[in-house]
A and B are shown apart, each in its own frame.
Chain A
Amino acid sequence: MVKFSAVAKRYPGGQEALKDVSFSLEAGELAFLTGRSGAGKSTLLKLIPAIERPSAGSVVVNGQNVASLKRAAIPYLRRNIGLVFQDQKLLYDRSVYDNVMLPLAFSAHAPKEAARRARAALDKVGLLGREKANPVQLSGGEQQRVAIARAVVNRPAILVADEPTANLDAESALRILEIFVAFHQVGVTVLIATHDRALVERYGKRVLRLEDGRVA
């Protein structure tokens, strides 16, 4: 589903974030990406939805080589990838419900179908009762769950999360991870970057250790 082959990423200015990364994720697999801060976890994740492009090597997502993808094709790639960020990136000028509706607007669903999907996604993260609230009224954990609902509302095949539990207390973090595991169990490919060893060990899933620009 996701295949990195000899991927390197240098930023302008010479900083080398990734040197030689190769790994692949099978469809429906759940894996954790770990490593020190600054090891390049975020860079690696950004290569999957083509937020960044590799300097060398190939990144194949769902059979498409992202490295050579045309600019115009990127939105369609991203619709099949659910993205969850450390800083949620919610829009605070609208309700929880409208935040979750956002990705449905540009994939042009019928209004009824869109509403049904948005409510289903909010239900999966346990926030159906808070749909009218503004995200600022929610706790950090709840905001992260809104972000997950928004990421999965288009039913993507791949879910990519960058430190989704970084700013949360242990209980909220666990709840977030349980949600990811639930998506993994219904066949979604999930890749989660985290530096929380305890959480990773608890699940006994595959771990990709990023060290010195390489995956060990």
Chain B
Amino acid sequence: MIAWLRQHGQALRLGIRKLSLLNALVIGVALALPAAGYALIETLRPAGERLALEPRISLFLAPQVKRADAEALGARLRADRRIGSVRFVPREEALKEMSSVQGLSEVIGALGRNPLPDAFVVTSKDEIAGELGKLPGVASVQADAVWARRLAAAASIAQLAVGLLAALLGAALVAVTFNTIRLQILTQRDEIEVSKLLGATDGFIGRPFYYLGLLQGLIGGVLALAIVGAALALLNREVRVLAESYGSNFRFAFLPVSEALLVLLLAAALGWLGAWLSVGRHLRAIEPR
């Protein structure tokens, strides 16, 4: 057991000595792209999910509809079992809400009169927007569900694109490691040949290269996360200014801890895979003559 640990410690030291930060950086940059894409999707996902979970339908009433007719319509809506909640938004409240949005109050002030209609906001999981539009007094209907579907479709396209990117760049990581280790094996050809003559097993000779691949991948993963973190921090400085002008506190969020760990794990595993493929192929080719 002690001998086993000692051999692994020695292999780890040799692996560290062979590390090239430049290669790790190449891996880091390659992995940063899908990781950043993933972080962006994860940031946007909650908005889409909220929309999809509780699709809202806004019913805008015709301007000439009396308040009493509106109340009757409200009662009818509340009686409908397909409808979850019903909220009446009088035109005065809508105006107040809109005025509170920065930049719009001046516009509204310039209008002189309230251009907004009374409205009902209802939630429903059923596709009843068309039916509601035919109710008396309803001028127009806007269903969030349509937007939720579009957003979900866009999100799944983006997710697929990030997935493809991750697969491609993961393959690139394996290839980079494969080649790094091929070159390392070639430069150490003499040492490997002599070691084989003196009775070193393939496992012993290959071990430092496995560690090299693993560490290179892992450091690449750490660099990727650092790049994503730095890029998001930079981006958020600008986003904050833009979001505040819309009265929002929207920020791009960094990857959740579990996902960040997954990136590290995958990077290390792919590095190891590249090393394994390379060692399997190139170490056997070196036989003493």
**Chain A contacts with B in 67-113, Cβ cutoff 8 A:** 72, 75-80, 83, 89, 91, 93, 102-103, 105-111
> Is B10 touching A105 in the complex (CB atoms < 8 A)?
yes
Type the 1/0 row for B1-43, where 1 means its CB is closer than 8 Å to any CB of A.
Answer: 0111011001000000000000000000000000000000000
Chain A interface bracket (under 10, 10 to 19, 20 to 34, 35 or more): 20 to 34
Q: Flag B270-289 by CB within 8 Å of A: 1 or 0 each.
A: 00000000000000000111
| Cβ–Cβ contact A106 & B194, under 8 A | no
Task: List residues of chain B with CB within 8 A of the CB of A80.
Answer: 199
A184 to chain B, nearest CB (A): 21
Chain B contact residues: over half helix, strand or loop, or mixed?
Answer: helix
Which residue in A51, A106, A150 is a CB contact (below 8 Å) of B200? A106
- A213 CB within 8 Å of chain B: no
Contact assessment for A103 and B289 in the assembled complex, using a CB-CB cutoff below 8 Å: no
Distance (Å) between the CB of A5 and the closest chain B CB? 24
CB of A35 closer than 8 Å to a CB of B: no
Which one, B3, B198, B202, contacts A108 given CB within 8 A? B3
A51-B288, A51-B289, A108-B6 known; A103 vs B190 contact (CB < 8 Å): no
Interface residues of B in 167-211 (CB under 8 A from A): 190-191, 193-202, 204
Q: A51-B288, A51-B289 are in contact. Are A106 and B201 (CB under 8 A)?
A: yes
> Does A154 lie at the interface of the complex (its beta carbon under 8 Å from any beta carbon of B)?
yes
Do the beta carbons of B199 and A107 come within 8 Å of each other? yes
Partner of B199 from the list A72, A76, A93 (CB cut-off 8 Å) is A76
Q: Does A135 contact B (CB under 8 A)?
A: no
User: For the complex, is A54 an interface residue (Cβ under 8 Å from B)?
Assistant: no
- Cβ–Cβ < 8 Å partners of A89 in chain B: 190, 193-194, 197
Alpha-carbon distance A179/B7, docked complex (angstroms): 32
Q: Which 7 A-B pairs have the closest CB atoms?
A: A79-B199, A78-B199, A108-B3, A106-B200, A103-B198, A75-B201, A106-B204
